[in-house]
Amino acid sequence: GAGVSQTPSNKVTEKGKYVELRCDPISGHTALYWYRQSLGQGPEFLIYFQGTGAADDSGLPNDRFFAVRPEGSVSTLKIQRTERGDSAVYLCASSLRAGPLYEQYFGPGTRLTVT
Amino acid sequence: EDKVVQSPLSLVVHEGDTVTLNCSYEVTNFRSLLWYKQEKKAPTFLFMLTSSGIEKKSGRLSSILDKKELFSILNITATQTGDSAVYLCAVPSYGNKLVFGAGTILRVKS
């Protein structure tokens, strides 16, 4: 079946602009995660959803970052007033359920460049 | 704070060689450890190791978990150029988020 999809694959924006990144999880997966990966590092957790609600948003770096999952499927990560330090690859993952014994499957990511 | 450390940071081998990648971890409540292969952008799931499944094998790849010494290894035998990638190790932390190591960059030369 289809894997996790993310759009756009690349996004270039100017400092101070607003961006939205979209994630479409594997069908039937109830848990959805967002991570951010900088060059030479492993992915870092941002937020995860169980169904429609954000179960843990402790990884969001500040209040410029926000994510929603209104119908329990597609999720959108929103970044306001972008800064050059926000440049990274934003990865989305989904799992059948939330829990440490459920594998997380990743999408291809969105490479965000803030100029 | 939960932590994962991978070694080596990078490795260059020739086709046909066998490689061993290392992952050590510190986690408050261990439940599982995951290995991923990352080419370009998307990490691809390889293995999950748990207390009830401390050895996994798929083709030329295999992995073991040592819960006593808090580490895991990923072995790749008869390496091919297509094995060139970044290999990531991760453990679930509080709240089900994955804590990743920095990865090992493997380059297989033909």
Note the pLDDT of residue B53: 79
Q: In percent, how much of chain B has pLDDT > 70?
A: 100
Per-residue pLDDT at A1: 56
Decide yes or no: CATH 2.60.40.10 for domain B3-109: yes
B42 and A91 within 8 Å at the Cβ level: the answer is yes
- 3-state SS of A10-26 is EEEECCCCCEEEEEECC
What is the residue whose two structure tokens read 């704070």? B1
CA nearest to A93, candidates A37, A38, A40, A41:
A37
Cα A108 to Cα A1: distance, rounded to the nearest angstrom: 16
**Residue A83 belongs to what domain range?**
5-114
pLDDT of residue B1: 87
Please tell me whether residue A3 adopts helix, strand or coil conformation. coil
pLDDT above 70 coverage of chain A, percent: 99
Which of A41, A58, A106 has its CB closest to that of B43? Answer: A106
Query: How many domains does the structure of chain A reveal?
Result: 1
The CATH number covering residue A40 comes to: 2.60.40.10
Substitution target from A10, A29, A89, A101 for chain B, most B beta carbons within 10 A: A101
Q: Which residues does chain B have within 8 Å of residue A43's beta carbon, measured at their own beta carbons? A: 43, 88, 98, 100
Q: What is the mean pLDDT of residues B76-104?
A: 95
Give yes or no for B33 touching A (CB within 8 A): no
Q: Which residue in B has a C-alpha nearest to residue A39's C-alpha? A: B102
Q: Which residue of B has its CA nearest to A10?
A: B41
Q: How far is Cα B31 from Cα B80, in angstroms, rounded to an integer?
A: 32
Cβ partners under 8 Å of residue A115, min gap 6: A12, A13, A14, A15, A84
pLDDT band for B34, please (50, 70, 90 cuts). very high
Q: How confident is the model at residue B67 (pLDDT cuts 50, 70, 90)?
A: confident
Token reading at B36: 């991923």
Would the CB atoms of A35 and B98 count as touching at under 8 Å?
yes
Task: Please give the pLDDT value at position B79.
Answer: 98
Q: To which H or E segment does residue A111 belong?
A: strand A110-114
Hey, are the CB atoms on B102 and A41 less than 8 Å from each other?
yes
Q: Averaged over B11-16, what is the pLDDT?
A: 98
Please check whether residue B3 touches A, CB under 8 A: no
pLDDT at B50: 92
Residue B77 pLDDT: 98
